[in-house]
């Protein structure tokens, strides 16, 4: 890690960077899965879901960049390969699977809820490390994922 003098000990910064590395990995898998669904959704409500997924993956793409920049601000290099992301991610891909639109929505809802739970754990680690800035950053990410989860949940309701 680069020499950075921002009031956090190197071991504290490393703990926070580890949290952010896991966050960016899950964000990247979620982005890829959402983009996959955008490309492969079919059915009666194709246009609605195609547009919904595009809005969601575009928002996730912006968040990925923000997470990467947060890692850099803490003096570390940002993981940036698919292999690194897959190794660090808690979310799972489903290669060769093209579920119905409703199952796509349910899968994305589950993934967003997993991300929310992981972010809550990450906030606790950042708090223990004394990094209020990253705590706040992760709280804002939670709010975005909670809103998306609510929209997906509402879409599934009959």
Q: What is the DSSP string of 59-93?
A: HHHHHHHHHHHHHHHTT-PPP-SHHHHHHH-SS--
CB half-sphere exposure, 38, CA atoms < 13 A: 14
Mean pLDDT calculated for residue range 44-57: 96
Measure the CA–CA gap between 12 and 66, rounded to whole angstroms: 20
**In this predicted structure, what is the pLDDT of residue 149?**
98
Q: Is the pLDDT of residue 150 over 70?
A: yes
**In this predicted structure, what is the pLDDT of residue 3?**
83
Q: Is the pLDDT of residue 67 over 70?
A: yes
Element spanning 104, H or E: helix 101-128
Closest Cα partner for 52 from 115, 109, 116? 109
Dihedral angle sign, alpha carbons of residues 107, 110, 112, 114? negative
Q: Is the pLDDT of residue 1 over 80?
A: no
pLDDT band at 4 (very low <50, low <70, confident <90, very high): confident
Q: State both tokens at 64.
A: 């990925």
Give Cα 30 to chain centroid, integer Å.
6
Q: Is the pLDDT of residue 155 over 80?
A: yes
Mean pLDDT calculated for residue range 74-95: 94
pLDDT band at 27 (very low <50, low <70, confident <90, very high): very high
Please count the other Cβ atoms lying within 10 Å of the Cβ belonging to residue 132. 11
């Amino acid at each position: 890690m680069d020499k950075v003098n921002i009031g956090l000990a190197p071991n504290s910064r490393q703990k926070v960077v580890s949290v952010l590395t896991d966050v960016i990995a899950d964000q990247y898998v979620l982005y890829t899965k959402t983009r996959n669904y955008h490309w492969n959704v079919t059915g009666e409500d194709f246009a609605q879901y195609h547009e919904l997924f595009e809005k969601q993956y575009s928002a996730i793409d912006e968040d990925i960049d923000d997470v990467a920049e947060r890692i850099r601000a803490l003096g570390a290099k940002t993981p940036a390969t698919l292999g690194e992301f897959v190794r660090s991610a808690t979310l799972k891909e489903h290669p060769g699977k093209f579920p119905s639109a409703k199952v796509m929505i349910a899968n994305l809802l589950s993934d967003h809820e997993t991300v929310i739970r992981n972010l809550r754990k990450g906030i606790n680690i950042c708090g223990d490390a004394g990094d209020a800035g990253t705590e706040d950053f992760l709280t804002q990410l939670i709010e975005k994922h909670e809103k998306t989860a609510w929209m997906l949940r509402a879409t599934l309701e009959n």
